Amino acid sequence: MSWTNEADQDLRARAQQVIPGGMYGHESTRLLPAEFPQFYLRGKGARIWDVDGTRYIDHLCAYGPNLFGYGFEPVEAAAAAQQRLGDTLNGPAEVMVKLAEAFVSQVSHADWAMFCKNGTDANSMALVVARAHKSRKTILCAKGAYHGAAPWNTPRPAGILPEDRAHIAYFQYNDADSLVDVFKAHAGDVAGVFATPFRHEVFYDQYEPDVEYARLARRLCDENDALLIVDDVRAGFRLARDCSWEPLGVRPDLSTWGKCFANGYPISALLGSEKARAAAKEVFVTGSFWFQATPMAAAVETLRHIRETDYLERLQNYGRRLREGLAQQAGMHGFGLRQTGPVVMPQILFEDDADFRIGYGWTVECLKRGVYFHPYHNGFISAAHGDTELNETLDATDRAFEALKAGKAALKPNAALMQLLAHG
Ligand SMILES: Cc1ncc(COP(=O)(O)O)c(C=O)c1O
């Protein structure tokens, strides 16, 4: 297949003039090899087309939102029907109540729901509700865990004051002693604890928490009158049809959701238990577009498919076979592959690849054969990934390993990435 990214390069050059840095945030390709497309034309099912018209089987799913396939007809139809009636009006439509009811009946710990736009909004809303609950200041987060891009939680320092995080305290993920210590250090003032369902930092292997650690988090919150908050923005509905810590037997007081529950429409949610309702009633949180009815209609339909279909088992089946196939190919071609985390959100890194040059080389070779894998961010599987996509993917990955082994792939570190890893 002949492969070009001329249209993408052209758009990047134009963007450099009118968008700071040409692109910002997690969707910037600044840290990726130049072959990675920055701009896209369209998506359908499990496939995306870049602006040069090249089609890829997509294993990133828009960083999560695509759960049932791009342009999934039932969700598109529900959204279009609501759009025709009205979207942003003087107040919400009936569908807001329907959506809250659907969440409350689906997610075990939830007695109420509030809606906003992005995961960052939902986590910031959780933070203020937790502080309002007992009029306390301190919020506990695991070191390095991503909860969004507001001043209190952004991973990058530019424009952020120490005061923005004056009352955020950190502990080591999955480390019981560290959690106990941070509670002690802030005794009487802990408002809430953010818990990530499993460890899913960029650049690193992923891992699940111990059940005892998750239960300890619950117990410490109870003993200290603090609220436990599960940030399900990334993992939501890919690990369970309920909150991601429900299978561990741990129910939070608050959980935050985003990305996939409207199959790509812009909406996120804060869910809460009865205990947190009074505080949630008091805080002033809002946004001009938070009450849009179209994403809510898309969400109601997406939740119905989450409840009524075997989508999760299909995701798991694809993810498991992909992992097995890649492990076998890597072994055959003599590469050490580290595949970690849940199979539906796979992190794929290479052994002995501190500067990511092998991962970069391999993912570029995959791209050139029509398959998109991210070299350092966990991937996502959708329900539109089936046998055809798996066979095509494994055929392409096999040839990508082969090219790498034959020394045909360009293996060079990315200067911007090296700088970031060295200096944070
Ligand atoms: C765990 C987690 N929390 C919060 C966020 C922030 O969500 P958003 O980018 O929608 O603001 C993300 C985004 O990737 C995330 O992965």
Helices 176-185, 211-223: axis angle to 10 degrees equals 20
Mean pLDDT of 80-92: 98
Q: Over 80: is that where the pLDDT of 423 sits? A: no
Residue 424 has what pLDDT?
63
Q: Which atom of ligand 1 is nearest to the CA of 196?
A: 1
Q: What does the chain come to in residues?
A: 424
Going from the Cα of 342 to the center of ligand 1, the distance in angstroms, rounded, reads 18
Ligand 1, atom 3, lies closest to the CA of 147
Q: Over 80: is that where the pLDDT of 99 sits? A: yes
Q: Which atom of ligand 1 is nearest to the CA of 258?
A: 10
Going from the Cα of 120 to the center of ligand 1, the distance in angstroms, rounded, reads 6
Q: Which atom of ligand 1 is nearest to the CA of 148?
A: 6
Going from the Cα of 171 to the center of ligand 1, the distance in angstroms, rounded, reads 20
Hey, which of 61, 116, 120, 173 would you mutate to test ligand 1's pocket, going by the most ligand atoms within 8 Å of its Cβ?
A: 120
Ligand 1, atom 9, lies closest to the CA of 119
Distance from C-alpha of 304 to C-alpha of 72, rounded to nearest angstrom: 13
Ligand 1, atom 14, lies closest to the CA of 234
Tell me the sheet residues that pair with 339.
348
Distance from C-alpha of 420 to C-alpha of 4, rounded to nearest angstrom: 28
Going from the Cα of 146 to the center of ligand 1, the distance in angstroms, rounded, reads 7
Q: Over 90: is that where the pLDDT of 151 sits? A: yes
Q: Over 60: is that where the pLDDT of 119 sits? A: yes
Q: Over 80: is that where the pLDDT of 71 sits? A: yes
300 Cβ neighbours under 8 A, 6+ residues apart: 78, 95, 98, 99, 102
407 Cβ neighbours under 8 A, 6+ residues apart: none
> pLDDT tens for residues 332-341?
999 999 999 9
Determine phi and psi for 356, rounding to 5 degrees.
65, 15
Q: How does strand 268-272 pair with strand 112-116?
A: antiparallel
Q: Which atom of ligand 1 is nearest to the CA of 259?
A: 10
Residue 348 near residue 341 (C-beta atoms within 8 A): no
Going from the Cα of 267 to the center of ligand 1, the distance in angstroms, rounded, reads 12
Ligand 1 binding site (Cβ under 6 Å of any ligand atom): 63, 118-120, 123, 146-148, 231, 233-234, 258
Helices 73-85, 293-308: axis angle to 10 degrees equals 150
CATH topology of domain 73-308: Aspartate Aminotransferase; domain 2 (3.40.640)
Going from the Cα of 37 to the center of ligand 1, the distance in angstroms, rounded, reads 22
Residue 413 has what pLDDT?
76
Top-tier CATH class for 6-63+310-423: alpha beta
Q: Over 70: is that where the pLDDT of 189 sits? A: yes
Q: Over 70: is that where the pLDDT of 1 sits? A: no
Domain spans of the chain?
6-63+310-423, 73-308
H-run or E-run covering 171: strand 168-171
With a pLDDT cut of 90, the percent of the chain lying above it is: 95
- CA dihedral of residues 233, 156, 343, 336 (deg, nearest 10): 180
Residue 130 near residue 282 (C-beta atoms within 8 A): no
Amino acid (one-letter) located at 236:
G
Going from the Cα of 384 to the center of ligand 1, the distance in angstroms, rounded, reads 23
Residue 112 near residue 104 (C-beta atoms within 8 A): yes
Mean pLDDT of 149-154: 97
Q: Which atom of ligand 1 is nearest to the CA of 63?
A: 14
Q: How does strand 40-44 pair with strand 337-340?
A: unpaired
Ligand 1, atom 16, lies closest to the CA of 234
Q: Which atom of ligand 1 is nearest to the CA of 117?
A: 10
Q: Over 70: is that where the pLDDT of 61 sits? A: yes
Q: Which atom of ligand 1 is nearest to the CA of 121?
A: 11
Residue 4 has what pLDDT?
84
222 Cβ neighbours under 8 A, 6+ residues apart: none
For residue 327, what pLDDT band results from cuts at 50, 70 and 90? very high
Q: How does strand 168-171 pair with strand 138-142?
A: parallel
> pLDDT tens for residues 346-387?
999 999 999 999 999 999 999 999 999 999 999 999 999 999
> pLDDT tens for residues 212-249?
999 999 999 999 999 999 999 999 999 999 999 999 99
Distance from C-alpha of 32 to C-alpha of 72, rounded to nearest angstrom: 29
Residue 257 near residue 235 (C-beta atoms within 8 A): no
Residue 262 near residue 118 (C-beta atoms within 8 A): no
Alpha-carbon distances of 237 from 109, 249, 256, 382, rounded to whole Å: 15, 16, 12, 11
Q: In the numeric block, which tokens belong to residue 203?
A: 């650049």
Ligand 1, atom 7, lies closest to the CA of 119
Going from the Cα of 347 to the center of ligand 1, the distance in angstroms, rounded, reads 17
Amino acid (one-letter) located at 321:
R
For residue 23, what pLDDT band results from cuts at 50, 70 and 90? very high
Distance from C-alpha of 272 to C-alpha of 113, rounded to nearest angstrom: 6
Q: In the numeric block, which tokens belong to residue 347?
A: 């992190």
Residue 3 has what pLDDT?
74
339 Cβ neighbours under 8 A, 6+ residues apart: 323, 326, 327, 346, 347, 348
Q: Where are the alpha helices (DSSP H) in 189-276?
A: 211-223
3-state secondary structure (DSSP) of residue 292: coil
Mean pLDDT of the chain: 96
Residue 421 has what pLDDT?
78
For residue 407, what pLDDT band results from cuts at 50, 70 and 90? confident
